[in-house]
Amino acid sequence: LDGRATVITDAGAVDVATASDGSYGPHMSDVLDNWTAFVTWARESVRPSDGTPFSRESVRAPSPEPRQVFAIGLNYAEHAEETGMSTAGQEPAVFTKFPACITGPYGDIILPRGGNTDWEVELVVIVGQRAWRVSADAAWEFVAGVSVGQDLSERRLQMAADPPQFSLAKSFPRFGPIGPWLVTPDELPDRDDLHLSCRINGELVQEGSTRNLIYSVPDIIRRLSSVVPLNPGDVIFTGTPGGVGMARSPQRWLQEGDELTSEVRGVGQLCHRFTYA
Protein backbone atom coordinates (compact mmCIF):
# COMPACT_ATOMS: atom_id res chain seq x y z
CA LEU A 1 0.00 0.00 0.00
CA ASP A 2 1.55 3.34 -1.10
CA GLY A 3 4.87 1.57 -1.63
CA ARG A 4 4.98 -0.25 1.72
CA ALA A 5 4.70 -4.02 2.15
CA THR A 6 1.39 -4.84 3.84
CA VAL A 7 -0.42 -7.96 4.99
CA ILE A 8 -4.08 -7.84 4.02
CA THR A 9 -6.28 -9.50 6.65
CA ASP A 10 -10.04 -9.92 7.19
CA ALA A 11 -9.95 -6.65 9.11
CA GLY A 12 -7.82 -4.56 6.76
CA ALA A 13 -4.13 -3.78 6.40
CA VAL A 14 -1.12 -4.49 8.64
CA ASP A 15 2.08 -2.56 7.81
CA VAL A 16 4.87 -5.14 7.76
CA ALA A 17 7.79 -2.93 8.85
CA THR A 18 5.82 -1.45 11.76
CA ALA A 19 4.39 -4.76 12.97
CA SER A 20 7.78 -6.52 12.74
CA ASP A 21 9.77 -3.69 14.36
CA GLY A 22 11.73 -3.32 11.15
CA SER A 23 12.66 -6.99 10.77
CA TYR A 24 10.81 -7.16 7.43
CA GLY A 25 10.02 -4.52 4.83
CA PRO A 26 9.36 -1.68 4.42
CA HIS A 27 9.28 -2.37 0.66
CA MET A 28 7.82 -5.39 -1.14
CA SER A 29 11.23 -6.12 -2.66
CA ASP A 30 12.68 -6.45 0.88
CA VAL A 31 9.92 -8.88 1.83
CA LEU A 32 10.20 -10.91 -1.38
CA ASP A 33 14.00 -11.18 -0.96
CA ASN A 34 13.41 -12.78 2.45
CA TRP A 35 10.14 -14.54 1.63
CA THR A 36 10.37 -17.83 3.52
CA ALA A 37 11.30 -16.19 6.82
CA PHE A 38 8.70 -13.46 6.28
CA VAL A 39 5.88 -15.97 5.72
CA THR A 40 6.83 -17.82 8.91
CA TRP A 41 6.82 -14.53 10.83
CA ALA A 42 3.48 -13.44 9.33
CA ARG A 43 1.77 -16.75 10.14
CA GLU A 44 2.89 -16.51 13.77
CA SER A 45 2.45 -12.79 14.30
CA VAL A 46 -0.47 -11.46 12.24
CA ARG A 47 -4.03 -12.47 13.19
CA PRO A 48 -7.06 -12.23 10.87
CA SER A 49 -8.59 -9.62 13.20
CA ASP A 50 -5.51 -7.37 13.04
CA GLY A 51 -5.41 -4.45 10.65
CA THR A 52 -7.06 -1.19 9.74
CA PRO A 53 -9.23 -0.23 6.74
CA PHE A 54 -7.43 1.02 3.64
CA SER A 55 -8.48 2.78 0.46
CA ARG A 56 -8.21 1.15 -2.94
CA GLU A 57 -6.25 4.15 -4.26
CA SER A 58 -3.36 3.03 -2.03
CA VAL A 59 -3.04 -0.44 -3.57
CA ARG A 60 0.01 -0.87 -5.83
CA ALA A 61 1.45 -3.83 -7.73
CA PRO A 62 2.39 -6.73 -5.39
CA SER A 63 5.82 -6.95 -7.07
CA PRO A 64 6.29 -3.34 -8.18
CA GLU A 65 9.85 -3.58 -9.58
CA PRO A 66 10.50 -7.14 -10.78
CA ARG A 67 13.98 -7.81 -12.13
CA GLN A 68 12.49 -10.04 -14.83
CA VAL A 69 9.03 -10.40 -16.35
CA PHE A 70 8.26 -13.51 -18.37
CA ALA A 71 5.16 -14.11 -20.46
CA ILE A 72 3.95 -17.23 -22.23
CA GLY A 73 2.28 -16.91 -25.63
CA LEU A 74 -0.44 -19.29 -26.84
CA ASN A 75 -0.80 -21.34 -23.67
CA TYR A 76 -4.49 -22.22 -24.11
CA ALA A 77 -5.59 -24.26 -27.16
CA GLU A 78 -8.71 -22.12 -27.61
CA HIS A 79 -6.64 -18.92 -27.81
CA ALA A 80 -4.09 -20.48 -30.19
CA GLU A 81 -6.93 -21.60 -32.48
CA GLU A 82 -8.61 -18.19 -32.54
CA THR A 83 -5.34 -16.54 -33.57
CA GLY A 84 -4.69 -19.18 -36.24
CA MET A 85 -1.28 -19.94 -34.75
CA SER A 86 0.18 -23.37 -34.09
CA THR A 87 0.88 -24.98 -30.71
CA ALA A 88 2.73 -27.87 -32.34
CA GLY A 89 6.16 -26.67 -31.11
CA GLN A 90 8.13 -28.61 -28.51
CA GLU A 91 8.56 -25.56 -26.27
CA PRO A 92 6.30 -22.68 -25.21
CA ALA A 93 6.75 -19.28 -26.85
CA VAL A 94 8.35 -17.05 -24.20
CA PHE A 95 8.66 -13.27 -24.39
CA THR A 96 9.07 -10.41 -21.91
CA LYS A 97 6.95 -7.47 -20.97
CA PHE A 98 9.59 -4.87 -20.12
CA PRO A 99 9.42 -4.28 -16.33
CA ALA A 100 8.63 -0.55 -16.75
CA CYS A 101 5.07 -1.53 -17.81
CA ILE A 102 4.24 -3.13 -14.45
CA THR A 103 1.53 -1.22 -12.58
CA GLY A 104 -1.17 -1.62 -9.97
CA PRO A 105 -4.68 -3.06 -9.99
CA TYR A 106 -6.79 0.09 -10.44
CA GLY A 107 -6.86 3.42 -12.25
CA ASP A 108 -6.64 4.87 -15.75
CA ILE A 109 -4.50 3.55 -18.61
CA ILE A 110 -3.66 5.67 -21.65
CA LEU A 111 -4.45 4.13 -25.05
CA PRO A 112 -1.64 4.64 -27.61
CA ARG A 113 -3.05 6.90 -30.35
CA GLY A 114 -3.40 5.19 -33.71
CA GLY A 115 -3.11 1.78 -32.05
CA ASN A 116 -5.41 -1.19 -31.51
CA THR A 117 -5.27 -2.06 -27.82
CA ASP A 118 -6.43 -5.55 -26.84
CA TRP A 119 -7.10 -7.36 -23.56
CA GLU A 120 -5.62 -10.63 -22.20
CA VAL A 121 -6.56 -11.71 -18.67
CA GLU A 122 -3.95 -14.05 -17.19
CA LEU A 123 -2.91 -15.79 -14.02
CA VAL A 124 0.33 -14.19 -12.83
CA VAL A 125 2.89 -16.05 -10.72
CA ILE A 126 5.33 -14.16 -8.47
CA VAL A 127 8.58 -15.95 -7.64
CA GLY A 128 9.44 -16.25 -3.93
CA GLN A 129 13.01 -17.51 -3.95
CA ARG A 130 15.89 -17.97 -6.36
CA ALA A 131 15.00 -20.80 -8.73
CA TRP A 132 17.62 -22.45 -10.91
CA ARG A 133 17.07 -25.79 -12.62
CA VAL A 134 14.10 -26.73 -10.46
CA SER A 135 11.95 -29.78 -11.17
CA ALA A 136 8.24 -29.48 -11.90
CA ASP A 137 7.52 -31.42 -8.69
CA ALA A 138 9.34 -28.82 -6.61
CA ALA A 139 8.27 -25.75 -8.62
CA TRP A 140 5.36 -24.49 -6.47
CA GLU A 141 7.77 -24.26 -3.49
CA PHE A 142 9.55 -21.45 -5.36
CA VAL A 143 6.36 -19.44 -5.82
CA ALA A 144 5.55 -16.64 -3.36
CA GLY A 145 2.00 -16.37 -4.64
CA VAL A 146 -0.32 -15.63 -7.51
CA SER A 147 -2.08 -12.50 -8.73
CA VAL A 148 -4.36 -11.42 -11.53
CA GLY A 149 -2.62 -9.92 -14.57
CA GLN A 150 -3.57 -8.11 -17.76
CA ASP A 151 -1.22 -8.63 -20.71
CA LEU A 152 -2.41 -5.50 -22.54
CA SER A 153 -1.31 -5.63 -26.17
CA GLU A 154 -1.14 -3.03 -28.92
CA ARG A 155 -1.84 -5.19 -31.98
CA ARG A 156 -0.90 -2.73 -34.72
CA LEU A 157 2.70 -2.49 -33.50
CA GLN A 158 2.68 -6.23 -32.77
CA MET A 159 1.60 -7.17 -36.30
CA ALA A 160 3.55 -4.45 -38.16
CA ALA A 161 6.76 -6.43 -37.59
CA ASP A 162 7.41 -9.57 -39.63
CA PRO A 163 7.40 -11.98 -37.89
CA PRO A 164 5.09 -10.34 -35.31
CA GLN A 165 6.79 -8.90 -32.20
CA PHE A 166 5.39 -9.35 -28.73
CA SER A 167 7.56 -7.62 -26.13
CA LEU A 168 7.54 -4.02 -27.36
CA ALA A 169 3.87 -4.02 -28.34
CA LYS A 170 2.92 -5.24 -24.86
CA SER A 171 5.06 -2.78 -22.88
CA PHE A 172 3.46 0.67 -23.23
CA PRO A 173 3.18 2.49 -19.86
CA ARG A 174 0.85 0.62 -17.48
CA PHE A 175 0.33 -2.25 -19.98
CA GLY A 176 1.28 -4.78 -17.29
CA PRO A 177 -1.16 -4.33 -14.39
CA ILE A 178 -0.95 -6.98 -11.66
CA GLY A 179 -2.73 -7.44 -8.35
CA PRO A 180 -4.80 -6.63 -6.44
CA TRP A 181 -2.54 -8.58 -4.08
CA LEU A 182 -0.33 -11.60 -3.90
CA VAL A 183 -2.27 -14.66 -2.68
CA THR A 184 -0.15 -17.49 -1.26
CA PRO A 185 -0.90 -20.83 -2.96
CA ASP A 186 -2.01 -22.47 0.33
CA GLU A 187 -5.01 -20.11 0.40
CA LEU A 188 -6.37 -21.55 -2.86
CA PRO A 189 -8.65 -24.62 -2.89
CA ASP A 190 -6.82 -25.90 -6.02
CA ARG A 191 -3.82 -23.89 -7.19
CA ASP A 192 -3.83 -25.71 -10.56
CA ASP A 193 -7.52 -25.01 -11.33
CA LEU A 194 -8.19 -21.28 -11.18
CA HIS A 195 -11.11 -19.66 -13.01
CA LEU A 196 -10.28 -16.53 -15.04
CA SER A 197 -12.63 -14.00 -16.58
CA CYS A 198 -12.51 -10.62 -18.25
CA ARG A 199 -15.32 -8.10 -18.75
CA ILE A 200 -15.62 -4.86 -20.70
CA ASN A 201 -18.25 -2.52 -19.20
CA GLY A 202 -19.76 -5.61 -17.55
CA GLU A 203 -19.92 -7.71 -20.75
CA LEU A 204 -18.11 -11.07 -20.43
CA VAL A 205 -15.43 -11.32 -23.13
CA GLN A 206 -13.06 -14.00 -21.77
CA GLU A 207 -13.47 -17.00 -19.51
CA GLY A 208 -11.22 -19.97 -18.81
CA SER A 209 -9.47 -22.10 -16.24
CA THR A 210 -5.79 -22.67 -15.58
CA ARG A 211 -6.45 -26.42 -15.60
CA ASN A 212 -6.52 -25.98 -19.41
CA LEU A 213 -3.03 -24.47 -19.62
CA ILE A 214 -0.97 -26.29 -22.27
CA TYR A 215 2.14 -25.66 -20.12
CA SER A 216 1.18 -25.75 -16.42
CA VAL A 217 2.67 -23.41 -13.82
CA PRO A 218 5.14 -26.08 -12.56
CA ASP A 219 6.11 -26.95 -16.14
CA ILE A 220 6.68 -23.26 -17.01
CA ILE A 221 8.91 -22.81 -13.95
CA ARG A 222 10.86 -25.97 -14.80
CA ARG A 223 11.42 -24.82 -18.40
CA LEU A 224 12.25 -21.16 -17.60
CA SER A 225 14.61 -22.06 -14.74
CA SER A 226 16.44 -24.58 -16.91
CA VAL A 227 17.71 -21.57 -18.88
CA VAL A 228 17.45 -18.44 -16.68
CA PRO A 229 17.87 -18.25 -12.88
CA LEU A 230 14.63 -16.79 -11.48
CA ASN A 231 14.81 -14.12 -8.75
CA PRO A 232 12.49 -13.30 -5.88
CA GLY A 233 9.84 -10.93 -7.20
CA ASP A 234 10.14 -12.05 -10.82
CA VAL A 235 6.73 -12.06 -12.52
CA ILE A 236 5.41 -14.71 -14.92
CA PHE A 237 2.33 -14.04 -17.07
CA THR A 238 1.08 -17.57 -17.82
CA GLY A 239 -1.01 -17.00 -20.96
CA THR A 240 -4.54 -15.97 -21.88
CA PRO A 241 -7.66 -18.01 -22.69
CA GLY A 242 -9.79 -17.38 -25.80
CA GLY A 243 -11.87 -14.28 -26.40
CA VAL A 244 -9.37 -11.54 -27.24
CA GLY A 245 -10.45 -8.64 -29.46
CA MET A 246 -8.03 -9.37 -32.30
CA ALA A 247 -9.70 -12.74 -32.98
CA ARG A 248 -13.27 -11.39 -33.14
CA SER A 249 -15.23 -10.73 -36.29
CA PRO A 250 -15.35 -7.82 -36.54
CA GLN A 251 -12.24 -7.16 -34.49
CA ARG A 252 -12.78 -5.18 -31.32
CA TRP A 253 -10.39 -2.89 -29.46
CA LEU A 254 -10.51 -1.05 -26.17
CA GLN A 255 -12.15 2.37 -26.55
CA GLU A 256 -11.88 5.57 -24.57
CA GLY A 257 -14.07 5.29 -21.47
CA ASP A 258 -14.14 1.47 -21.45
CA GLU A 259 -13.89 -0.17 -18.06
CA LEU A 260 -11.95 -3.45 -18.06
CA THR A 261 -12.44 -5.88 -15.17
CA SER A 262 -10.03 -8.82 -14.97
CA GLU A 263 -10.64 -11.54 -12.40
CA VAL A 264 -9.18 -14.76 -11.07
CA ARG A 265 -11.75 -16.32 -8.76
CA GLY A 266 -10.43 -16.64 -5.21
CA VAL A 267 -7.60 -14.19 -5.97
CA GLY A 268 -9.28 -10.88 -6.85
CA GLN A 269 -10.10 -8.33 -9.52
CA LEU A 270 -8.27 -5.65 -11.47
CA CYS A 271 -10.32 -2.69 -12.67
CA HIS A 272 -9.00 -0.16 -15.21
CA ARG A 273 -10.49 2.62 -17.30
CA PHE A 274 -9.05 3.62 -20.67
CA THR A 275 -8.44 7.15 -21.88
CA TYR A 276 -6.56 9.10 -24.56
CA ALA A 277 -5.76 11.93 -22.17
Closer Cβ to Zn ion, 42 or 198, answer by number: 198
Smallest separation (angstroms) from Zn ion to the CB of 244: 9
Of 62, 24, 59, 65, the closest CA to residue 43 belongs to 24
Smallest separation (angstroms) from Zn ion to the CB of 123: 11
Q: In sequence order, what DSSP letters do the residues of the chain get, joined into one string?
A: -TTS-EEE-SS-EEEHHHHTTTSS-SSHHHHHHTHHHHHHHHHHH--TT--B---GGG---SSSS-S-EEEEES-SHHHHHHHT----SSS-EEE---GGGEE-SEEEEEPPTT--EE--EEEEEEE-S-BSS--TTTGGGGEEEEEEEE--EEHHHHHHSSS---TGGG-STT-EEEEEEEE-GGGSS-TT--EEEEEETTEEEEEEEGGG-SS-HHHHHHHHHTTS-B-TT-EEE----S--GGGSSS-----TT-EEEEEETTTEEEEEEEE--
Q: In the chain, what is the straight-line distance between the N-terminal and C-terminal CA atoms, in Å?
A: 26
Which residue is nearest to Zn ion, using beta carbons? 151
Smallest separation (angstroms) from Zn ion to the CB of 119: 10
Closer Cβ to Zn ion, 15 or 120, answer by number: 120
In which region does residue 186 sit, left (phi positive, over 0), alpha (psi from -120 to 50) or beta (all else)?
Answer: alpha
Smallest separation (angstroms) from Zn ion to the CB of 112: 17
Closer Cβ to Zn ion, 20 or 262, answer by number: 262
Closer Cβ to Zn ion, 104 or 239, answer by number: 239
Closer Cβ to Zn ion, 42 or 270, answer by number: 270
Smallest separation (angstroms) from Zn ion to the CB of 24: 32
Closer Cβ to Zn ion, 20 or 240, answer by number: 240
Closer Cβ to Zn ion, 74 or 127, answer by number: 74
Smallest separation (angstroms) from Zn ion to the CB of 151: 3
Smallest separation (angstroms) from Zn ion to the CB of 180: 19
Which residues are at the interface with Zn ion (CB under 5 A)? 120, 151, 240
Residue type, 120: E
